[in-house]
Amino acid sequence: MILVTGGAGFIGSHFVLDWFEQKSEPIVNLDALTYAGNPANLAPLQGNSNHALIKGDIGDSALVESLLQTHKPRAIVNFAAESHVDRSIHGPGDFIQTNIVGTFRLLESVRAYWGALPDADKNAFRFLHISTDEVYGSLAPTDAPFSETHRYEPNSPYSASKAASDHLVRAYHHTYGLPVLTTNCSNNYGPLHFPEKLIPLCIHNALTGKPLPIYGDGQQVRDWLYVRDHCSAIRRVLEAGKVGEVYNVGGWNEKPNLDVVRTLCRVLDELSPRSDNKSYTEQITYVKDRPGHDRRYAIDASKIERELGWRPAETFESGIRKTVRWYLDNAAWVESVTSGAYKNWTAKQYA
User: Would you say 44 and 17 are in contact if contact means Cβ atoms under 8 Å apart?
Assistant: yes
Region binding ligand NAD by CB under 6 A among candidate stretches 3-11, 144-152, 169-177, 277-285: 3-11
Q: C-beta of 10: minimal distance to ligand DAU in Å?
A: 9
Q: How far apart are CA 2 and CA 52, in angstroms?
A: 11
Residues in Cβ contact with 222 at an 8 Å cutoff, skipping those fewer than 6 apart: 186, 187, 254, 255, 257, 260, 297
List the catalytic residue out of 136, 158, 172, 280. Answer: 158
User: Would you say 291 and 255 are in contact if contact means Cβ atoms under 8 Å apart?
Assistant: no
Asked whether position 34 contacts ligand NAD by CB under 6 A, the answer is: yes
Sheet of 221-226, strand order: 187-189, 221-226, 254-256
* 3, 53, 185, 214: residue in contact with ligand NAD (rule CB under 6 A): 185
Region binding ligand DAU by CB under 6 A among candidate stretches 132-140, 244-252, 302-310, 335-343: 132-140
Region binding ligand DAU by CB under 6 A among candidate stretches 111-119, 121-129, 209-217, 340-348: 209-217
| Interaction partner, residue 297 (ligand DAU, ligand NAD, none; CB < 5-8 Å by kind) | ligand DAU
Determine whether 294 is an active site residue. Answer: no
Q: Please give the backbone phi and psi of residue 81, each rounded to the nearest 5 degrees, phi first.
A: -170, 160
279: alpha, beta or left? (left if phi > 0; alpha if psi -120 to 50):
beta
Q: How far apart are CA 100 and CA 125, in angstroms?
A: 22
Asked whether position 83 contacts ligand DAU by CB under 6 A, the answer is: yes
Angle at which helices 198-207 and 257-271 cross, to 10°: 40
Contacts of ligand NAD in 8-27 (CB under 6 A):
8-12
Determine whether 327 is an active site residue. Answer: no
The beta-strand segments (E) located in 142-215 are 180-185, 187-189, 212-215
Region binding ligand DAU by CB under 6 A among candidate stretches 17-25, 42-50, 127-135, 330-338: 127-135
Q: C-beta of 334: minimal distance to ligand DAU in Å?
A: 16
**Interface mask (CB under 6 A) for ligand DAU, residues 224-263, using x and -?**
---------------------------------x------
Position of minimal CB gap to ligand DAU: 132
Distances (CA, A) of 32 to 38, 99, 155: 10, 13, 26
Contacts of ligand NAD in 76-95 (CB under 6 A):
79-83
Contacts of ligand DAU in 170-199 (CB under 6 A):
186-187, 197-198
Q: Angle at CA 344, nearest 5°, toward 137 and 278? A: 80
Classify residue 40 by its DSSP letter: G
b vs e for 33-58, b when ≥16 Cβ sit within 10 Å of the residue's Cβ?
ebebbbeebbeebeeeeebebbebbb
Q: Which residues carry out catalysis?
A: 133-134, 158
Interface with ligand DAU (CB under 6 A): 83-85, 132-134, 186-187, 197-198, 201, 213-215, 220, 222, 257, 290, 297
Interface with ligand NAD (CB under 6 A): 5-6, 8-12, 30-34, 36-37, 57-59, 79-83, 98, 102, 130, 132, 162, 185, 187-188, 194
